[in-house]
Chain A
Amino acid sequence: DSGVTQTPKHLITATGQRVTLRCSPRSGDLSVYWYQQSLDQGLQFLIQYYNGEERAKGNILERFSAQQFPDLHSELNLSSLELGDSALYFCASSRGDVPSSYEQYFGPGTRLTVT
């Protein structure tokens, strides 16, 4: 158990809908990272928050947004969902703000299926 929690575990929704994925980092970790794992693709970095502020952005679509709250939990909002958004979404946390220096602890993931 990494100490990172994600809810829900599974989500099935229709195209055009909006969903929110939630992540609570390990106690003491200030950074939260969001990743997308699609079929036959590696883990793709979406966005990082550090202590409530956006720190880095990856291949995140404009339809997607995220935030980190004062209690350090984070939410990833996916809107106008398309079939291609079906994927496993992971969040990870780490102690510091620089991804190079600190190992990341991954949550169990949320499996999103868009029908």
Chain B
Amino acid sequence: ILNVEQSPQSLHVQEGDSTNFTCSFPSSNFYALHWYRWETAKSPEALFVMTLNGDEKKKGRISATLNTKEGYSYLYIKGSQPEDSATYLCAFASTDKLIFGTGTRLQVFP
């Protein structure tokens, strides 16, 4: 059974703080790693699709890195804002499906 783990489970930060969280996945048979942002009462929204070891992607204040050899990816948010409050999901792409972690729930207080 393929396991995708995210830590921490939840995070509370002050506005302006930078934060990061981790996604761990199997290091064998790697195809891709997806990150999604899921706001309460909305649906998951794609942030990044990462495929190469050492890949680094950026979208505004959010960036992600990928280490396929050791099986982890980091998501960083620089200068968190209240509108960044959401659950951040990672998903390991196997040959035929995405396997989602349970997410890191981020709450940013003004």
For chain A, give the interface size range.
20 to 34
Residues facing A in B76-96 (CB within 8 A) are 89, 91, 93-96
Known: A42-B103, A101-B49, A103-B34. A56 touches B43 (CB 8 A): no
Closest 7 CB pairs of A and B: A100-B93, A100-B31, A103-B46, A56-B96, A100-B32, A106-B43, A43-B100
Contact A104 B43 (CB under 8 A): no
Write the residues of chain B forming the contact surface with A, with a CB cutoff of 8 angstroms.
Answer: 4, 31-32, 34, 36, 42-46, 49, 51, 89, 91, 93-103
CB distance from A9 to the nearest CB of B (A): 11
CB distance from B66 to the nearest CB of A (A): 13
CB distance from A51 to the nearest CB of B (A): 16
Contact B99 A45 (CB under 8 A): yes
How far is B51's CA from A44's CA once the two chains are assembled, in angstroms? 22
Contact B97 A43 (CB under 8 A): no
Contact A56 B100 (CB under 8 A): no
Taken residue by residue from 25 to 51, chain A's Cβ proximity to chain B (1 for < 8 Å, 0 otherwise) reads as 000000001000000011111001000
Q: Pick the most buried of A99, A100, A102: most chain B CB atoms within 10 A of its CB.
A: A100
